[in-house]
Amino acid sequence: MTTPNNPLDIEKLRQDFPVLHQEVNGHPLVYLDNAATSQKPQCVIDALVHYYATDNSNVHRGVHTLSQHATDDYEAARSKVRRFINAAEDHELIYVRGTTEAINLVAQTYGRQNIGAGDEIIITGMEHHSNIVPWQILTQDTGAVLRVIPFNDNGELLLDEYEKLLGPRTKLVSVVHQSNAMGTINPMEAIIEQAHARGIPVLVDGAQSIPHIPIDVQKLDCDFFAFSGHKLYGPTGIGILYGKSELLEQMPPYQAGGEMIRSVTFEKTLYNILPHKFEAGTPNIAGSIGLGAAIDYVEDVGMERIASYEKELLDYGTDRLTRIEGLRLIGTAREKGGILSFTLGDIHPHDIGTILDSQGIAIRTGHHCAQPVMQRFAIPATARASLAFYNTRAEIDTLVEGIDRVLEVFS
């Protein structure tokens, strides 16, 4: 059984990730950019190679054996996703390119169908641009209005303000589960409960939470949940939109073409059943199978154990970084995932990132596609170290030494 009392053997797990074992700029790689994308275990790479080397074929079309293999594996991966996030039905999982496409899909289908002039959509001040701009486009086209829940200096949402924003014109709440710029984990169950008390559906942007927190969409009771495979140790170009059946059934298709139809004449087209109605064209078959392999892998490691180890690592990193003079952590919420976003005096974050890179340490610098968060703190950018379960205390120590070196260069 995988329990938090049964600690992870990190050195052994690291062996599963070939990318980690290399030198960058003459130093062992310290990969701390996991919020941008995480590394892939060998079993995911093998699943991609196996598909292309032995089963490559289109899905849902051929009677031939390879097509049947490909279809079986593609659909088996969907069932793995269902089990992983505890959805009720396989057909509630739509394969998309990633979180961005999942949110655009909801905005362009559910949004256009249900949100009109004067209606309101609630998001938060800590959204990634992909949970802002699709709604802005919708509001511009429909005359609806975007409302924003503010957050405090620690990066915690002001739930009293949320309560005030909810009103008779609110048609949708769309909230990030874990902030990519600050690490804040938002109280999704409370947010969803308050919206549902008024009959308002809720979309959860799970791009950052999916690799770190065990997700149960039925327990959360969210109406939509979006995530990307590549942040969950899976391939790029594949992601999931979960939606409750009754909502997906009512929504019009997003893209049109092959596979999403039941019959076509020049007079009339009948759409396919779920999930195919939303999967027009040849999908990312290899990506789906790779995502399934990634889910097998993290389930084997154990999501509870991952969460508990990463919390420990975050506490260690927070303690070490906050001892550095002039370092300011951006994002100090009580409920926080493995993100250490910071500024260092008036040294530009790009300089921090460049000097760290010269020591083999990979972090991200910039606004992290969350410019309103930077505006809230009146800073142009941060340096961000983001953790995965394969990171170690020794790597945090190397980061701290790297930051000391940055300070030396600028002293």
**Site for ligand 7TS, rule CB under 6 A:** 35-36, 98-100, 128, 130-131, 176, 180, 205, 207-208, 228, 364, 368-369
Closest CA to 183 of 345, 387, 380: 387
- Measured between its terminal Cα atoms, the distance across the chain in Å is 51
Longest dimension (CA), the chain: 74
Nearest to 385 by CA among 306, 313, 326: 313
Residue whose CB is less far from ligand 7TS, 8 or 387: 387
302-332 b/e (C-beta count within 10 Å ≥ 16 → b) = bbebbbbbbbebbeebbebbeeeeebbbbbb
The whole-angstrom separation of Cα 193 and Cα 199 is 10
Query: Considering Cα of 36, then 38, then 39, then 43, what sign does the dihedral take?
Result: negative
Q: Measured from the CB of residue 183, what is the shortest distance to ligand 7TS in angstroms?
A: 11
Question: For residue 262, how many C-alpha atoms fall within 13 Å in the half-sphere facing its CB?
Answer: 7
Q: How far is the CB of 126 from ligand 7TS (least distance, A)?
A: 9
Q: How far is the CB of 314 from ligand 7TS (least distance, A)?
A: 16
The residue (of 157 and 207) whose beta carbon lies closer to ligand 7TS is 207
Indicate the residue among 357 and 397 with the shorter CB distance to ligand 7TS: 357
Q: CA nearest 70: which of 80, 54, 81, 59?
A: 59
Rounded Cα distance, 78 and 249, in Å = 18
C-alpha neighbours within 13 Å on the C-beta side of residue 209? 24
- Looking at the Cβ atoms of 20 and 123, the one nearer to ligand 7TS is 123
Cβ contact 192:200 at 8 Å = no
Q: Minimum distance from CB of 43 to ligand 7TS (Å)? A: 21
| Shortest spacing between CB 352 and ligand 7TS, in angstroms | 16
183 versus 253: smaller Cβ distance to ligand 7TS: 183
The one catalytic residue in 29, 369, 374, 400 is 369
| Shortest distance (Å) from residue 26 CB to ligand 7TS | 26
Closest approach of Cβ 164 to ligand 7TS, in Å?
A: 24
Pair 107, 132: CB distance under 8 Å: no
Per the CB < 8 A criterion, the answer to whether 390 and 14 are in contact is yes
Residue 383 vs 407, nearer CB to ligand 7TS: 383
Residue pointed to by tokens 């906050």: 322
Told to judge if 222 belongs to the known catalytic residues of this protein, a careful annotator would answer no
Q: Per residue in 150-180, is it b (16+ CB within 10 Å) or e — as a string? A: ebeeebbbeeeebeebbeeebbbbbbbbbbb
Of 275, 273, 212, 291, the residue nearest 242 (C-alpha): 275
Q: Which is nearer to ligand 7TS, 235 or 402 (CB)?
A: 235
Active site residues: 369
